[in-house]
Amino acid sequence: MALTPTCRINRHANKELVQEVPPIHAVRLDGPSRTSTKCGATNKQRIHRLARAPRAAAEQTIRTRERNLRKSHWRAGIDRRTLVKSGAALAAVQFASPFVIPARAADAVKIGLDNPLTGTYAAPGKNELVGCQMALDEINGKGGILGRQAELVVEDSTSGDAGVAVQKARKLIDSDKVNFLLGNVNSALSLAMAQVSNEKGVLHIVPGGHTDAVTGSSCHWNVFRVCNTTQMEANAVASALVKEYGKKVYYITPDYAYGHTLESGLVKAIGALGGEKVGGDLTPLGTVDFSSYLIKAQAANPDVILFLIQGDDMVNALKQAVQFGLDKKVHLAGAQQELEALEGLPPEARIGTWVMEWYWNQPGVPHVAEFVEAIKKRTGRPPTARNWFGYVSTWTCALGAEKAKSLKAVDMAKALQDFHLPPEIALGPNPAFYRAGQNQLLATLFVGNAQAKGSVPDDLFKVTKTVSGVEAAGPLEESGCKMTWPT
Amino acid sequence: MLARVADGGAGGEAWRMSQVVLFNVFNGLIVGAFYALMALGLSLILNLSGVINFAHGGFLALGAYLAYTLIPYIGFWGALIVAPPLTALLGLIVERLLIRPLYGQDPLYGLLLTFGLAYIFEDVTRMIWGAQSVPFQVPGWLMTSLSSQYFFLTGYRVFMMIIVAAAVGGLFAVLKYTRLGMRIRAGTRDLDTVSTLGVNVRVLRSLNFGIGIYMAGLAGVLAAGLLGLSPTIGANLIMPSFVAIIVGGLGSLLGTLIGGLMIGVVSGLAAVYFPSATEAVIYVMMGLVLLVRPRGLLGEEGRVH
C-alpha cells in the first residue's frame, strides 16, 4: 500500500518516531489505532515512548517540525503595520466615549472628574464619584451653578499611571472644555494633574490625595484640597499613641510620595513628644505578603507598630498581623484609616488606633444624619470619608462660583480664600474652611479605635477625640506654600 | 540550628539578625509554595497548548469570590471543595469558546486575548462583588499561631502547606501514572505526533486547561483566607508566578515548583536587607537566570517561542 509508511530502525528512538508517523488517513485505513503497524508498536506504546523519550531527542523532533512550520508561522505572525494598528486601536479605546451624566441644557457648566475607577484605588475613586453625583443632583435641584445646569464628565485616571491621568486631564480641559477639574485619589497623580490645571488656569479641587506638597511646597493658586495633609494626620494621632502605648515605634511605610511624607511627619511629631523610631520598612505598593516585614518588626521589639500602608495593602497586612498574634504583644496602629478598609477586614482584625478624616456616626452634629440617609439610599452603605470628599469638592465648585458671581478661575480662587463651608456641607463639629494662602481645607480629624462591632453593625470605629483642622495643621508658614498669583 | 533559635531571642544584635534571616527563609518557603501552586497551573497550560494565560489571575480571583459567596451556605470546607471545580468549569467554557480557535496561531493572539480577559474578569468581579475588599472568614481555630516562638506558623499556613503539597503531589501523580497524564506529557513534547496516533487533542487540551484552572481556583480560595479579598488579588499574584515559570524553565513542572519556592525565599531575604526591593529582586533574579542560563534552571533548550 502506497500510503503505509516505511519503518527505519535508527539509533535515536525519536527519529524513528518522526519517520514512522503515518499520515492520518493511513491510520484510519489500518483500522482502530490499537492495531499494530508494520513497526510492531501500538499507538499506545508510541505515546508511552514519546512521554518518556529523552529530552534531547524530543527537542530534535520539535525542531524539525518547527523548521517545517516556519514558513506558515511567518505568515500567521504579525508585521509592524498590524502592530501599529493594534497599538492605535488600544489608544483609541482609552479615549473612547467617557461616561457622561447627560446634560439637560446645551450651555451646561461642566465639572471634569479625573479619578481612578480601576486598579488599587478603584474603591475610594468610586466612592468619591458617588459623593460628586449626589452633590451634582442637589446643585441642579437648587437651580444649578449661576443659573445653568451642571454636568459631570468622568474619566478613569487609572490608579497609578501619571501619564494617563495627565492625558485625561488635558482631554477634559481641551476638548470637553470643563469649567472645573476634580481629582485625584493618588497623591502623585494629584501633583501631576495640578501642573496641567495650573498651566491651563483651570480651578482644580483635589478631593483625596494626601501628600503635603499639594498644598505645601508645590501649591498653586488654582489648586484646592479637601482631604487633610499627611502632616495634619500625623499631628492628630501622635499624642494619643505616645501617651497611651509607648515610645518605641516601628514603621511599615508604603514606598511612594504619600508614605514618605507621612512617615517623616510622624517621626517629627512623635519625636517632639519624646518617642523614637526603632526601625521601619519601605514596602512596594501592591505588596500582598507582609509576613517577612512583620517578622522583622516583631524582632525589633517595639511598643507600637505603625501601619502607614493604605487600601488593600493595609487589609492584607492587618489580617496577617492578627493571624500571627502580634496584636496581643504589640499595639498596632497607624495614621489614616478608612471605612472601606475596615469593611474589608474580618471582625477580629478591626483593631488599632487611627485617624478618620470624616466619620458618619456623629451624634448631635446637625445635618449629618440627613447626609447618611441620602448616601445610604444610593449605595446601601453608610457614607465613607471618600463620599464626603467628593461631595464637598463638587459643592465647592458651585459655592465658589456663586460667591464670585463668575466662572473665571482667578475670581473663584480669590472668593474661596478663607471661605467657610455651610454646616450642611461641612458636616462636622468644627468649622470647615479653605485656609487662605494655602488653599487647604481645615475641618475636623477623628482620632479613635477600630472596633469589631459597635452600637450598630456598620459602626466600625470608636471616636475617642476630635481634633480641629486648625490645631492639627499648625501655622501657615510651616506648610511651605509660597503662593504666586497670575498677574 | 533550630534548637538554638528556640532558645529564645537572648544574645546580641548579630544573633537577633540571624534569627530574622532564618525565620524569613522559612517563611519564604511557605509563601513560595503558594506561588508555585499558581505557577503550576499556568505552566501546565503553557507547556501543552502554548497559550500564555494572562487571565490566570482572573480565574484565581473568581475562585476566591465564588468561595466567598458560597461560604454562608456550605461553610469554608464546602467552599474549598466546591469553588475550584466551579472555576475549572468556567475555564472549560472559556477555553471552548474563546481560546480553542487560537490554537496553532501565533502565540501573540492568545496572549492578547487572555490579557483582555484578565481586565474583563477584574471588572466583572468589581461589578458583582464591589470594588473594595470583602472580609473572607476562615474557621477561627485555624487563625491562631501554633507557637509563640515561630509566630508566623499559624494553623492556616500549615493547613495551606498541606493542601499545596497534596495538590502538587496529586498533579505529579496524575501526570506520571494515569493515561491522561501520559498523554499530556507526550503532548507537551510533540502534540502533532500524539494527534496522529489517534488521541483526541481537542479533548486533551480542554482537560489540561481545566486542570490548570482548577489549580488557579484552589490557589484563589487559599489566598483569600491568607490575604484580603479584593478584585485586584489576581493581578497582584500573577507576575511572580510568571517569573517562577521563567526561572524554573519553560516546559518543566519541577522547575516551576522550584522557581516558586525560590521567589518566596529570595524576596523574604530582600525584606531583611533591602526592604523596598522585595518586588524588584524577583525580576533581578529572573534577569540573572536569563543571562546565565536562558532556558531556566530545569528548562528545555529552544523551548522559548
* CA A429 – CA A64 distance, rounded (Å): 78
**Is residue B241 one of the residues assigned to a domain?**
yes
Question: What are the strands of the beta sheet with A99-100, ordered from one edge?
Answer: A99-100, A150-156, A109-115, A180-182, A203-206, A223-225, A440-442, A433-435
The complex's ipTM?
Answer: 0.80
Q: Are A200 and A259 in a shared domain?
A: no
**Model pTM greater than 0.90?**
no
Q: Given this model, what pLDDT does residue A311 score?
A: 80
Q: Are A319 and A398 in a shared domain?
A: no
**Is residue A209 one of the residues assigned to a domain?**
yes
By Cβ distance, the residue of B16, B23, B182 closest to A48 is B182
Which chain B residues contact residue A27 at CB under 8 A?
196-198
Q: Are A193 and A241 in a shared domain?
A: no
- Helix H or strand E encompassing A190: helix A187-200
Asked if B276's CB is within 8 angstroms of A255's CB, the reply is yes
Q: Given this model, what pLDDT does residue A359 score?
A: 96
* CA A337 – CA B100 distance, rounded (Å): 46
| pLDDT tens by residue, B22-68 | 888 888 998 898 899 999 999 999 888 888 899 999 999 999 999 99
- Integer angstrom CA distances of residue A45 from A36, A42, B77, B182: 10, 5, 42, 11
**Is residue A222 one of the residues assigned to a domain?**
yes
* CA A280 – CA B251 distance, rounded (Å): 41
Report CA torsion sign: B149, B151, B153, B155: positive
Q: Are A267 and A338 in a shared domain?
A: yes
Closest CA to B202 of B186, B187, B213: B187
**Is residue A84 one of the residues assigned to a domain?**
no
A226, A439 contact by CB (below 8 A): no
Instruction: Find the domain containing B237 and state its range.
Output: 16-292
Closest CA to B282 of B248, B240, B241, B236: B240
Q: Are A322 and A455 in a shared domain?
A: yes
pLDDT at B183 over 80: yes
Asked if B302's CB is within 8 angstroms of A346's CB, the reply is no
B122, B232 contact by CB (below 8 A): yes
**Is residue A243 one of the residues assigned to a domain?**
yes
Asked if A47's CB is within 8 angstroms of B199's CB, the reply is yes
Ranges assigned E (strand) in A301-382: 304-307, 331-336, 353-356
Q: Given this model, what pLDDT does residue B218 score?
A: 95
Number of domains in chain B: 1
* CA A236 – CA A408 distance, rounded (Å): 36
Residue A93 burial (10 A CB sphere; 0-12, 13-18, 19+): exposed
Q: Given this model, what pLDDT does residue B11 score?
A: 54
Q: Which CATH number do you get for residue B175?
A: 1.10.3470
Instruction: Find the domain containing A267 and state its range.
Output: 231-356+445-473
**Is residue B9 one of the residues assigned to a domain?**
no
Q: Which residues of chain A have pLDDT under 70?
A: 1-40, 53-106
**Is residue A373 one of the residues assigned to a domain?**
yes
| pLDDT tens by residue, B62-119 | 999 999 999 999 999 999 999 999 999 999 999 999 999 988 888 888 889 999 999 9
A386, A338 contact by CB (below 8 A): yes
**Is residue B299 one of the residues assigned to a domain?**
no
**Is residue B305 one of the residues assigned to a domain?**
no
* CA B82 – CA A381 distance, rounded (Å): 30
Asked if B272's CB is within 8 angstroms of A292's CB, the reply is yes
Amino acid, single-letter form, for residue B86:
L
Q: Are A102 and A196 in a shared domain?
A: yes
| pLDDT tens by residue, B188-221 | 888 888 888 888 889 999 999 999 999 999 999 9
By Cβ distance, the residue of A47, A53, A122 closest to B183 is A47
Closest CA to A61 of B246, B197, B303, B55: B303
Number of domains in chain A: 3
If you measure CA to CA, which chain A residue comes closest to B194? A47
**Is residue B302 one of the residues assigned to a domain?**
no
Backbone angles phi, psi at B268, to 5 degrees: -65, -45
Confirm or reject contact between B106 and chain A (CB < 8 A).
yes
Separation in Å, CA of B166 to nearest CA in chain A:
22
Angle at A31 between CA A26 and CA A35, to 5 degrees: 100
- Integer angstrom CA distances of residue A300 from A203, A259, B2, B25, B107: 47, 21, 20, 18, 49
Which chain A residues contact residue B194 at CB under 8 A?
47, 50
Residues present in chain A in total: 487
> What is the 8-class DSSP label of residue A311?
H
Could you please report the per-residue DSSP string of A42-89? -HHHHHHHHHHS-HHHHHHHHHHHHHHHHHHHHHHS--HHHHHHHHHH
Which chain A residues contact residue B231 at CB under 8 A?
122
**Is residue A150 one of the residues assigned to a domain?**
yes
* Percent of chain B's residues with pLDDT above 70: 94
Confirm or reject contact between B11 and chain A (CB < 8 A).
no
Q: Are A462 and A432 in a shared domain?
A: no
Q: Are A53 and A123 in a shared domain?
A: no
Q: Given this model, what pLDDT does residue A40 score?
A: 65
Confirm or reject contact between B192 and chain A (CB < 8 A).
yes
Q: Which CATH number do you get for residue A182?
A: 3.40.50.2300
What is the pLDDT confidence band of residue B154, given thresholds at 50, 70 and 90? Answer: confident
Asked if B131's CB is within 8 angstroms of A126's CB, the reply is yes
- Beta-carbon contacts of A303 under 8 Å, excluding residues fewer than 6 positions away, are A245, A246, A247, A248, A249, A330, A331
Separation in Å, CA of B143 to nearest CA in chain A:
5
Separation in Å, CA of B226 to nearest CA in chain A:
7
Asked if B230's CB is within 8 angstroms of A315's CB, the reply is yes
Residues present in chain B in total: 305
Asked if A77's CB is within 8 angstroms of B108's CB, the reply is yes
**Is residue B73 one of the residues assigned to a domain?**
yes
Q: Are A315 and A463 in a shared domain?
A: yes
* Percent of chain B's residues with pLDDT above 90: 46
Which chain A residues contact residue B193 at CB under 8 A?
17-18, 21, 46, 50, 61
Q: Are A331 and A375 in a shared domain?
A: no
User: How do strand A150-156 and strand A99-100 relate by DSSP bridges?
Assistant: antiparallel
- Beta-carbon contacts of A270 under 8 Å, excluding residues fewer than 6 positions away, are A238, A241, A242, A247, A249, A276, A277
Whole-angstrom distance between the N-terminal and C-terminal Cα of chain A?
A: 96
Asked if A286's CB is within 8 angstroms of B236's CB, the reply is yes
Q: Given this model, what pLDDT does residue A81 score?
A: 53
Which chain B residues contact residue A37 at CB under 8 A?
none
* CA A448 – CA A462 distance, rounded (Å): 5
pLDDT at B9 over 70: no
Q: Given this model, what pLDDT does residue A35 score?
A: 43
Q: Are A258 and A395 in a shared domain?
A: no
> What is the 8-class DSSP label of residue A362?
-
Q: Are A332 and A237 in a shared domain?
A: yes
**Is residue B191 one of the residues assigned to a domain?**
yes
If you measure CA to CA, which chain A residue comes closest to B198? A33
| pLDDT tens by residue, B129-143 | 988 888 888 888 887
Closest CA to A109 of A155, A144, A156: A144
